[in-house]
Structure 1
Amino acid sequence: MTQQDELITQLSRQNRLLKQVLTVAGAGLGIMLLTAAAYTENRGKFSEIDVERINIVTPEGKHEMVIANHLRLPEPVIDGKQSKRSGPQRPSMIFYNAQGDENGGFIFDGKLDDKGKPVAGMHFSMDRFGGDQQLSLGHYESGGSMESGLKIYDCGLQKDYDGLYQAYEKAPAGPERDALLQKWKDAGGQQTNRMFVGKTRGKSSAIIMADAKGKPRIMMLVTPEGQAMLNFLDDKGEVIQSFPQAEQGAVKAK
């Protein structure tokens, strides 16, 4: 083999080696680019974002949490059924269970009324499975007074009273309409307060326990003036026993 042939053979080998190196390098670069693209697609880092609503969802698209302004709140879902959200719409954080039902949330608002007094509040609630809220922690201001505390409620299951209130609203005035309202209440449709622990609008520190109809029966209070009392009430709200015994001129609890 001549010197020229050896040179050609050597160059051919080097060319094949270079192609192999370039192939491996290209494959590696491709993998790096794909990995970077996947990383960019699945994760992002932001210093600041402006949004009206954020949906936290499962891979299947079910809501697990929604954060929204007052205009973009989702309608409530209980026992798999969507209904209309009642009352003023407020900025909220809504939680959902694995069934896709709403099971609690956090709402807040605050503004001044026509007289320049605050109308404000924050409300954190926890719902029972298949029903409405059972426990809430809140602060509420209106009319120049405020209330802050923990509340525990009674409320039935949506499936037990579903449709009864709608039927009551559509029924003409009369015994049948009254019977539908009572049936809705008996089925657990009416939410009742069973316990309150906090500060009342009368500025008393209080623990208030009520019966299944929401009527207070035991009230433990400390008034702003420092008077401590334990009151027992009948179903009409009248004090039937008080400790210590009320004295003439004693401050009435609020």
Structure 2
Amino acid sequence: MEKLIREVRILKIYAVVLTILCAMFFFLAFKNQSSNERFKEINVERINIVEKDGTLKMVISNKERQHPGLVNHKELKPREREAGLIFFNSLGDECGGLVYDGNDKESGMVYSVDQRNTDQIMQLQYFEGAGKDKKRVYGLKLWDRPDDFPLEDIIKFEDSLKKINDPAVSKTAYAKLREEGKLTNERFFAGKTADGDVGIFIRDTKGKVRLKLYVDKNNQTHIENLDESGNPVK
């Protein structure tokens, strides 16, 4: 009789525990499928925005935990980057971002748009130094980048030169790339320069300034048409 009572008691405890576990399971399952969580305030060092399959699409991060970048789904080597947002496409490449910072020496903010398989081709940028000579620069800048020299090749090229660690070899190698048309060239800037000129500055395919339309710091207007050597063209 005592054995029977003990077994009944065990069954009751088992039933109660099982009921509680089932209730918790259904509650959590319902909670996960219900409306989104809402927070009035949240402190976080980094947020990764991903697709359902885990593909990384955007990172919002502080400086210390900022993403180093992706090329063909592979992370780049760790490097120092400012806080901000970094964007990634479905190819597994970084495709732009917004970074910013400011301290006693300098301040700045940059919004970049990257060309497919390579680095930035457009930036909305602002830089400013400290002290009396601030050298404030801001505006829109555009570059041309070749399609046959992707970012992976650029990284391999620069890493090989770092291993050699010879300035003369590096200079020759870069000169060869420039001759082959594989180096990036600035093409356009609209904004304010470090000299205080505000206007539009257009460069040719070799990166040389060919046309300037600007107002200088003394409020004098200028329209300059230049040849490949930088001399005025009448």
Q: 2:31 — aligned with what?
A: 37
| Structure 1 unaligned regions, length at least 5 | 1-28, 114-118, 243-254
Corresponding position of 1:105: 97
The Cα offsets for residues 72-129 of structure 1, whole Å up to 9 and x where unpaired, read as 011111244432365x52112000111121000000011112xxxxx10110000011
Which structure's CA Rg is the greater one? 1
- Among 113, 122, 125, which residue is 1:138 paired with? 125
Cα offset, 1:233, TM superposition? 2.4
Superposition deviation, residue 174 in structure 1: 7.6
Decide whether the 8 Å contact of 1:167 with 1:180 is kept in 2. Answer: no
The aligned residue for residue 95 of structure 1 is 87
- 1:231 and 2:218 matched: no
Alignment partners' CA distance in 2, 1:169 and 1:111? 30
- Compute the displacement of 1:56 (Å): 0.3
Secondary structure of 2:103's counterpart equals strand
Report if aligned partners of 1:161, 1:184 keep a CA contact under 8 Å in 2: no
Q: Against the structure 1 CA distance between its residues 59 and 169, is the aligned structure 2 distance closer, same or farther, given a 3 Å change threshold?
A: same
The answer on whether the counterparts of 1:164 and 1:183 sit within 8 Å (CA) in structure 2 is no
Q: Can you give the 5+ residue segments of structure 2 that lack an aligned partner in the other structure?
A: 1-22
CA gap 1:234/1:43 in 2 versus in 1, 3 angstroms: same
| Corresponding residue SS for 2:107 | strand
TM-score by length of 1: 0.71
Corresponding position of 1:199? 192
Aligned positions of 1:179-194 closer than 5 A: 179-185=172-178, 190-194=183-187
The Cα offsets for residues 57-79 of structure 1, whole Å up to 9 and x where unpaired, read as 01111111100000001111124
2:188, 2:202 within 8 Å by CA — same for their partners in 1? Answer: yes
SS at match of 2:174: helix
CA contact (8 A) 1:196 1:208 kept: yes
CA distance in 1, matches of 2:78, 2:181: 19
Aligned twin of 1:51: 44
What letter matches 1:225 in structure 2?
Answer: N
- Provide the secondary structure at the position in 2 that maps to 1:181: helix
TM-score (norm 2): 0.76
1:38 positional shift: 2.3
1:222, distance to aligned residue in structure 2 (A)? 1.3
- 2:28, 2:64 → 1: CA distance? 39
Q: Are residues 52 and 230 of structure 1, via their aligned partners in 2, closer, same or farther at CA, if it must alter by over 3 Å?
A: same
Task: State the Cα distance separating 1:217 from its structure 2 match.
Answer: 1.3
Q: Please give the alpha-carbon distance, in whole angstroms, between the structure 2 residues aligned to 1:36 and 1:229.
A: 68
Supply the distance in 2 between the matched residues of 1:233 and 1:47 (Cα, whole angstroms).
57
Question: Which position in structure 2 is the counterpart of 1:149?
Answer: 139
* % same residue: 30
Q: CA deviation at 1:215?
A: 1.9
